């Protein structure tokens, strides 16, 4: 039952070329930076990533993206990541953009064993009709476009069929966790982390504070240990390194 790994490198040692990863985080909040850096050190390539976004500036998934390690991204937006936009428009990267709520539910559904579900989000757009550019040819043309999806009416309202997402691995960051893999996320870091954790066949969690089994209030656990296979306890320095925080000092 003890799922604690000695190092982040050991926890991701079996992630190989072409693996599919679900990664928690939203912008700069709740990003499993230590695990991502460990994956970067492994030198694996052709990764498929499912995450709300692909990192920002020089942190998070932007580390892998800038190194050319990611072949495909499934996410909600590109944001201010200029390298993400450059690779996408240059035809170097395949990108499936999904409405944010739909992405969240696809991850949750995959984790719950639900193969597909119907949603009104995207009906009447290219999300349902197909034609969204997944890959450009580098010259302004579309090399690969999204296929049309099934649309069905319920009580006179149209819905589009979306498939649940399952990935080979999931990387998440939690505020607290125990040796059995039970996790608690702090405030806004409880964004896509629980959903990503559920979607991975092998889920690895980096935790800022490792506690013993029984110390977590069962009513406060956001992800039970049944979804988590490996736990990495962060050092105090790693736990305190949150790139979204900026120290501001008022002058006298």
How do residues 126-169 score in pLDDT, each as one tens digit? Answer: 999 999 999 999 888 999 999 999 999 999 999 999 999 999 99
pLDDT-derived band at 246 (thresholds 50, 70, 90) equals low
Average pLDDT over residues 170-188: 95
Average pLDDT over residues 225-235: 94
Global pTM? Answer: 0.91
**pLDDT over 80 at 180, yes or no:** yes
pLDDT at 58: 77
How do residues 11-20 score in pLDDT, each as one tens digit? Answer: 999 999 999 9
CA geometry: angle 25, 31, 33, nearest 5 deg: 155
**pLDDT over 70 at 188, yes or no:** yes
* Bridge partners for 107 per DSSP: none
pLDDT at 243: 62
How do residues 41-75 score in pLDDT, each as one tens digit? Answer: 999 999 999 999 988 767 889 999 999 999 999 99
Dihedral sign for Cα atoms in the order 55, 60, 61, 66: positive
For residue 162, which of 118, 110, 97, 98 has the smallest C-alpha distance?
118
pLDDT at 245: 57
Alpha carbon distance 139, 91 (integer Å): 8
Cα–Cα distance list, 140 to 53, 75, 90, 115, 126 (Å): 23, 22, 8, 35, 18
pLDDT at 26: 87
pLDDT at 93: 95
Domain 4-115+164-240: give its CATH architecture. 3-Layer(aba) Sandwich (3.40)
Percent residues over pLDDT 90 in the chain = 81
**pLDDT over 80 at 171, yes or no:** yes
Q: Where do the structural domains in the chain lie, given as residue ranges?
A: 4-115+164-240
Q: What is the 3-state secondary structure (H, E, C) of the chain?
A: CCCEECCHHHHCCCCCCCCEEEECCECCECCCHHHHHHHHHHCCCCEEEECCCCCECCECCHHHHHCCCEEEEEECCCCCCHHHHHHHHCCCCEEEECCHHHHHHHHHHHHHCCCEEEECCCCCCHHHHCCCEEEECCCCCEEEECCCCCEEEECCEEEEEEECCCEEEEEEEEEEEECCCCEECCHHHCCCHHHHHHHEEEEEEEEEEEECCCCCCHHHCCECHHHCCEEEECCHHHHHCCCCCCCCCCCC
How do residues 67-120 score in pLDDT, each as one tens digit? Answer: 999 999 999 988 878 999 999 999 999 999 999 999 999 999 999 999 999 999
Between 148 and 26, where is the model more confident? 148
Between 252 and 227, where is the model more confident? 227
pLDDT-derived band at 244 (thresholds 50, 70, 90) equals low
Average pLDDT over residues 165-181: 96
Alpha carbon distance 236, 233 (integer Å): 9
Q: What average pLDDT is seen over the chain?
A: 93
């Amino acid at each position: 039952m003890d799922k604690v790994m000695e190092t982040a490198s050991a926890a991701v040692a079996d992630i190989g070329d072409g693996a599919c990863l679900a990664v928690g985080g939203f912008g700069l909040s709740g990003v499993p930076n230590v695990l991502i850096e460990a994956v970067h050190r492994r030198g694996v390539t052709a990764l498929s990533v499912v995450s709300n976004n692909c990192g920002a500036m020089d942190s998070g998934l932007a580390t892998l993206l800038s190194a050319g390690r990611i072949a495909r991204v499934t996410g909600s937006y590109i944001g201010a990541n200029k390298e993400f936009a450059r690779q996408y428009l240059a035809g170097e990267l395949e990108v499936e953009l999904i409405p944010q709520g739909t992405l969240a539910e696809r991850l949750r559904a995959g984790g719950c064993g639900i193969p597909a579900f119907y949603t009104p989000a995207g009906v009447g757009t290219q999300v349902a009709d197909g034609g969204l550019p997944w890959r450009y040819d580098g010259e302004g043309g579309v090399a690969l476009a999204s296929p049309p999806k099934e649309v069905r009416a319920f009580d006179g309202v149209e819905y589009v069929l979306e498939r649940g997402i399952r990935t080979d691995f999931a990387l998440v960051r939690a505020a607290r966790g125990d040796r059995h893999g039970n996790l608690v996320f702090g405030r806004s870091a409880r964004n896509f982390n629980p959903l990503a954790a559920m979607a991975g066949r092998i889920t690895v969690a980096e935790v800022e504070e490792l506690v013993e089994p029984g110390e977590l209030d069962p009513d406060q656990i956001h992800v039970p240990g049944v979804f988590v296979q490996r736990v990495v306890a962060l050092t105090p320095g790693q736990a305190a390194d949150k790139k979204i925080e900026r120290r501001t000092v008022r002058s006298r």
